[in-house]
Structure 1
Amino acid sequence: MNFIIWIVVGGILGWLASMVMRTDAQQGMFLNVVVGIIGALLGGWLLAPLFGTGTINQNDFSLPSLFVSFLGAVVLLMIVNLFRRGRVR
């Protein structure tokens, strides 16, 4: 059951990050899930130690962990935009 929740929450976080970065029209549902989950991994490595919390990948579904996972997804989209377009939107 945690796996399904992880996929759904990752998809929502990826979708929200794509809305913030204005890449929503270029991504589908599958890419939103991938961005949410990989962004949570990135947020776990970079941001979780700064905030002192976990991420959705660590089965921590608290508000701070959702925020860290969301920020990780935004950072991931910034990195992708930097390599694809040569600039961050």
Structure 2
Amino acid sequence: MSLESLVVLLVVGGIAGWLAGLIMRGFGCGVIGNIVVGIVGAFLAGWLLPTIGVSIGSGIAGSIVRALIGAIILLAIIGAIKRA
């Protein structure tokens, strides 16, 4: 992975984490926490979705959607653990 790819992944993950925090009200971890969850969700979705055969699309919009899906899944899991 090149440095440019890593920077793009971090930016896209940050945007996705912020959006996921807005969508998943009550499950968030604060602005900084949601951005970190978005970055981790971007890595998670980048690995998981192709593994199960899901193709969202290409380009920056597809990357944001994939990262958003990963961040929402991760926030839901974190929210369920916090509530238990």
- TM-score of the alignment, normalized to the shorter chain, above 0.5: yes
Q: Percent identity between the aligned chains?
A: 39
Two-structure CA RMSD over aligned residues (Å): 2.6
Shift of 1:39: 0.5
Corresponding position: 1:69 with 2:77: no
Q: Which has the higher contact order (CA 8 A, sep 6+)?
A: 2
1:5 to 8, 25, 45: 8
Distance (whole Å) between structure 2 residues aligned to residue 47 and residue 10 of structure 1: 15
Q: 1:1-89 maps to which residues of 2 (within 5 A)? A: 2=4, 3-23=6-26, 26-29=29-32, 31-49=33-51, 50-52=53-55, 61-86=59-84
Structure 1 residue 16 displacement after superposition: 0.2
Report the 3-state secondary structure (helix = DSSP H, G, I; strand = E; otherwise coil) of the residue aligned with 2:25. coil
Structure 1: 5+ residue stretches without partners: 55-59
Cα deviation, residue 24, structure 1: 7.7
Q: Which consecutive unaligned segments of at least 5 residues does structure 2 have?
A: none
Residues of 2 paired with 1:41 and 1:24: CA distance? 20
For these two proteins, the number of residue pairs brought into alignment is 80
